[in-house]
Structure 1
């Protein structure tokens, strides 16, 4: 809802600027709308439009990269969790408690991520959650291997658990969001200037107003998508947790 509210504010600013430009059109003296003045303003607006297009492209690219990184981290995490569980299963029956603890940890993580409470996702970055993951690693290190094969499986399990924690932290860091707010504000300001100039040199009519409305909707949707993809573990546009759910069906077997 937070991102949707920002998108609504962006729409109001951009569309309001276009309407303000239409209003100013009827107030400006004729010499302000001469061919010479219009040409100079068009050149300036063209420069601003180019900068806005570049910044918008950079923000979309950055958001898509963050989303893809978080998605890859979830898939990798699910794969490593399955490998860790199977490694423990090969170790022997003495790892049953550890396997149950691992499964419970995954269940809790999925429940928190899929909850509508943003505080639940934020709590996954708490020191308590980090210590819970380290507790599994500590229990792995405390296993008493009775053969060379068990010793090899123990070392492998510790290595995989470290990779699981690393992928988990990577996904959570991506979920925190990395959109530069000053850059977004600057982009919205440029868009307001551009739409305001469009209205400034246009006589008001229904077709023009509708076009401005659709343009403002499109820009606000673009900002909304950027903000959503930069928080890939929450919101309307979120990475799929299907790999983790699939992993849950395999754990403990």
Structure 2
């Protein structure tokens, strides 16, 4: 499911818990909602609230790390491409075709990951692409004539290997996902917590509005978590600026 769908489902479940709590209060016998019962429910609600807050904090931290790792990978990719292009430029005019291939590959990568119309993500094209392998083969097929060119070729091949490793690292990072069971359990805890709120809160527009805003806030937190956990898709995504900046340095 998309992050928006998950957030909406979470809001319905959590705020539905509040409405269910209102219903329980009117359906239960009076001695079930007296002060002693209220204190016992508060203790249980406090425990659930603490566990939910810990899990939410851990999920936010984990998702933020995923977003930061992907952003760092994109920055490193741009830097490695620039360095590889500079190294090949110092080799001589024989590397012009390879450098053009590098520029076209970077341009295609930007268009595939950040299409102008955000309707489809063609990251699978990058997964199946063999362009980096072709670039590596072209570099290895160079015929260096001097010790300097041999050193440059060796350095370029190492950079090419680094780019390939970085590419597969980014591809693997996009497969990180939050356990659906964890989200279900967290939503269940929050729904139970809001049910306890509804059981002992007065039914008036102010209370209903405040609890509704609280449920919406928690649902937005889940939305942010799921969004950051998918850094190449959705609304919260890594920027393409580092790669566009790298494009400006290639071929010069």
SS where residue 31 of structure 1 aligns?
helix
CA deviation map 1:138-183 (0-9, x unaligned): 1111111111001000110111111112222222222233222211
How many residues are aligned here?
250
CA distance in 2, matches of 1:5, 1:124: 28
TM-score computed with the length of structure 1 as normaliser: 0.95
**Unpaired runs of at least 5, structure 1:** none
Q: 2:212 maps to which residue?
A: 213
1:122 to 110, 124, 148: 124
Q: 2:89 maps to which residue?
A: 89
Q: 1:243 maps to which residue?
A: 242
CA distance in 1, matches of 2:235, 2:55: 24
Q: How far 1:117 moved relative to its partner?
A: 4.2
Q: 1:166 maps to which residue?
A: 165
**Unpaired runs of at least 5, structure 2:** none
Aligned 8 A contact 2:14 2:190 in 1: yes
CA distance in 2, matches of 1:206, 1:117: 40
TM-score computed with the length of structure 2 as normaliser: 0.95
Question: Alpha carbon RMSD of aligned pairs, Å?
Answer: 1.3
Q: After the TM superposition, which segments of 4 or more aligned residues of structure 1 sit over 6 Å from their partners?
A: none
CA deviation map 1:43-83 (0-9, x unaligned): 11111111111110110010011111111111011000000
CA distance in 2, matches of 1:122, 1:65: 23
1:1-253 counterparts in 2 under 5 A? 2-115=2-115, 116-125=118-127, 128-129=128-129, 131-253=130-252
